[in-house]
Copies of this chain bind each other. A is one copy, B any other.
Amino acid sequence: MADYRKMWEDLGMDVEMHDQLCAVLPQAFGDVYLSQENRPEGMDYYNMVVADIHGIRPAELIEHQEKGGKVFGTFCVYVPDEIVFAADAIATGLCGGSQFWVPGGEKVLPTNTCPLIKASVGARLDRTCPFFRIADMYVGETTCDGKKKAWEILGEDVPVYVMNLPQMKRAKDVQAWAEEIADFKNKVEEFTGNQVTAEKLAKSIKLINSKRKALERLYHTRKQDVVPISGRDALLISQIAFYDDPARFTQMTNALCDELEQRVENGVSVVPAGTKRIMLTGTPLAIPNWKLHNIIETSGGVVVCEEMCTGTRYFENLVDETKETVDDQIQALAERYMKINCACFTPNEGRIDDILRLAKEYKVDGIMDVNLKFCNLYDTEGYFVERALKEAGIPVLSIETDYTDSDAQQLRTRVSAFIEMLNH
């Protein structure tokens, strides 16, 4: 810890303020995670990562920079990490999942902004997130009103490159996204001084696909009747996927999957048979936002799937690995990324199909449609999601929440009543 403190000071962080965050996280993590029984041994790795999440990985990123490499901070699953890694740079997630950072964001953003955006901006402006201090460039996108305008404020502090994500999914929009990726490649090449060759891009496409396959494999174990891993643990892995070294993450996740598959074979479950299987759908749950999973899994349910950016939207669909020119590879990237069904698109019927499909695949008993307060996109789309679920006869609970704990008791009451209802 002493070494990290020096590192944080060198990064120009507000170390005193950051200490307050460091003081509460272990307790929160212990309460939600370490209290669980019968956890897979493979979770040790992720426990270690999260215990020093502002230490270990930041130190690696700094080491990379000291060797002349660049670090790109990203906010969204539409930004193609493949381009960044192909330029010998590293893409990393940033901070944005704690109420700790929200007041800092509210200094410059409307209160009526979703907590994820407020926390991200606050983490940067308050200098309490090492990833925000380390990143040489941030990559924004035009996914929602709140983020689109937040880039302008962030951009006064550090270089922000914004990708114009089309708002629809016609053939010409996929082409427009391919052009945006090509522009991004040029920017990354210019900024890093490294050329993105077909060879390097092919390698990074394989690298990121491997990560996706490992997560797909992890999620596959959650489809079984036996539940070999808690929703909390799976969520933590999804969250860490945004930060960790992709190759190591893939290796560790595959090792965990070996254990989980063995558990499935041996009928080892983390919950009693008959525990109601819950799927969450909606807005992302950035680390350390474990509130809902914790409430559900301490109220008699188990989370078996997240149709979220921190979930299936992150890893489903692979990039075609057979392309041999940069142009073709970029086209393949555009096609894969445009398959993600975010509520920022109009229309976004594919998401309804995804939810109904996942509900079947994961043998879901009930769905919670979760919205981060002031996310108008997912909130409005909830109208269609909930209607489709009702038509399909799948029980659904609509939840709006933020990062505060003020609604925890009320949420627990509603979640318990929902699971109780599923039990009868």
Task: Kindly supply a per-residue 1/0 record for chain A positions 354-398, scoring 1 wherever the CB is within 8 Å of any chain B CB and 0 otherwise.
Answer: 000000000000000000011011011111100000000000000
Least CB distance from A351 to B in Å reads 11
List the B residue with the shortest CB-CB distance to A108. B383
Complex contacts, A146 vs chain B, CB 8 Å? 376, 380
Assembly of this chain: how many copies?
A: 2
Complex contacts, A109 vs chain B, CB 8 Å? 380, 383
- Cβ contact within 8 Å between A344 and B145: yes
List the B residue with the shortest CB-CB distance to A107. B383
Binds B, one of A67-75, A172-180, A234-242: A172-180
Binds B, one of A128-136, A160-168, A265-273, A300-308: A160-168
Complex contacts, A376 vs chain B, CB 8 Å? 110, 112-113, 145-146, 149, 374, 376
Least CB distance from A167 to B in Å reads 4
- Cβ contact within 8 Å between B145 and A377: yes
Complex: A377 Cα to B142 Cα, angstroms: 12
- Cβ contact within 8 Å between B149 and A381: yes
Task: Kindly supply a per-residue 1/0 record for chain A positions 317-353, scoring 1 wherever the CB is within 8 Å of any chain B CB and 0 otherwise.
Answer: 0000000000000000000000000011011100000
Complex contacts, A153 vs chain B, CB 8 Å? 380, 383
- Cβ contact within 8 Å between B173 and A168: no
* Residue total for A at the interface (Cβ-Cβ under 8 A): 41
- Cβ contact within 8 Å between A145 and B145: yes
Complex: A167 Cα to B373 Cα, angstroms: 24
- Cβ contact within 8 Å between A379 and B176: no
Complex contacts, A149 vs chain B, CB 8 Å? 343, 346, 376-377, 380-381
Complex: A148 Cα to B151 Cα, angstroms: 20
Least CB distance from A115 to B in Å reads 13
List the B residue with the shortest CB-CB distance to A109. B380
A144 interface contact, C-beta 8 A = yes
- Cβ contact within 8 Å between B113 and A380: yes
A260 interface contact, C-beta 8 A = no
A89 interface contact, C-beta 8 A = no
A119 interface contact, C-beta 8 A = no
List the B residue with the shortest CB-CB distance to A155. B347
Complex contacts, A373 vs chain B, CB 8 Å? 112
Beyond A152-B384, A164-B173, whether A374 also contacts B112 by CB under 8 A is: yes
Complex: A97 Cα to B374 Cα, angstroms: 22
Complex contacts, A152 vs chain B, CB 8 Å? 346-348, 380-381, 384
A415 interface contact, C-beta 8 A = no
Least CB distance from A294 to B in Å reads 25
List the B residue with the shortest CB-CB distance to A112. B374
A123 interface contact, C-beta 8 A = no
* Max count, chain B CB within 10 A of own CB: residue among A113, A164, A165, A384: A164
A278 interface contact, C-beta 8 A = no
* Max count, chain B CB within 10 A of own CB: residue among A146, A152, A179: A152
Complex: A164 Cα to B165 Cα, angstroms: 11
Complex: A374 Cα to B110 Cα, angstroms: 9
- Cβ contact within 8 Å between A142 and B167: yes
Complex: A311 Cα to B176 Cα, angstroms: 33
- List 3 A-B pairs, minimum CB-CB distance, nearest first: A149-B380, A142-B167, A110-B379
The 27 listed contacts between A and B (C-beta, < 8 Å) are A110-B380, A112-B112, A112-B376, A112-B379, A113-B380, A142-B346, A144-B145, A145-B145, A145-B344, A145-B376, A146-B376, A146-B380, A148-B167, A148-B346, A148-B377, A149-B343, A149-B377, A149-B381, A150-B380, A152-B348, A152-B381, A155-B347, A162-B168, A164-B167, A165-B167, A374-B374, A376-B376
Extra contacts besides A108-B383, A164-B166, A376-B376 (20): CB < 8 Å: A110-B376, A110-B380, A110-B382, A112-B373, A112-B374, A112-B379, A113-B376, A113-B380, A142-B346, A144-B145, A145-B377, A146-B380, A148-B377, A149-B346, A149-B377, A151-B346, A152-B346, A164-B168, A167-B167, A374-B376
